[in-house]
């Protein structure tokens, strides 16, 4: 009778530790994915801030080319 209780307790400990390790691993993966997405969004936002500047530069270059073609 005591051996069955010992086996049951060991099985419980194994189950709980396995579940806890699974939860920790899942949380680490979720945090890594969130960080990756945050980095991508940050990069996209930086690109979106730079685009109007590039568009203005292209407009200026276009006007200069038109002036050179007229001359």
Estimate the share of the chain in helix, then strand, then coil, as percent rounded to the nearest 5: 95, 0, 5
pTM for the structure as a whole: 0.62
Q: What does the alpha-carbon distance between residue 40 and residue 37 come to, in Å, rounded to a whole number?
A: 5
Where in the chain are the domains?
Answer: 1-71
pLDDT of res. 20: 98
Mean pLDDT score of the chain? 94
Q: How large is the average pLDDT for residues 49-63? A: 92
Show the tokens assigned to 49: 């801030």
DSSP notation for 28-41: HHHHHHHHHHHHHH
pLDDT in tens, 6-25: 999 999 999 999 999 999 99
């Amino acid at each position: 009778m005591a051996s069955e209780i010992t086996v049951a307790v060991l099985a419980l400990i194994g189950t709980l530790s396995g579940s806890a390790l699974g939860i920790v691993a899942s949380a680490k993966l979720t945090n890594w994915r969130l960080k990756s997405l945050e980095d991508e969004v940050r990069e996209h936002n930086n690109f979106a801030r730079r685009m109007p500047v590039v568009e203005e530069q292209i407009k200026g270059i276009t006007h200069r080319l038109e002036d050179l073609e007229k001359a």
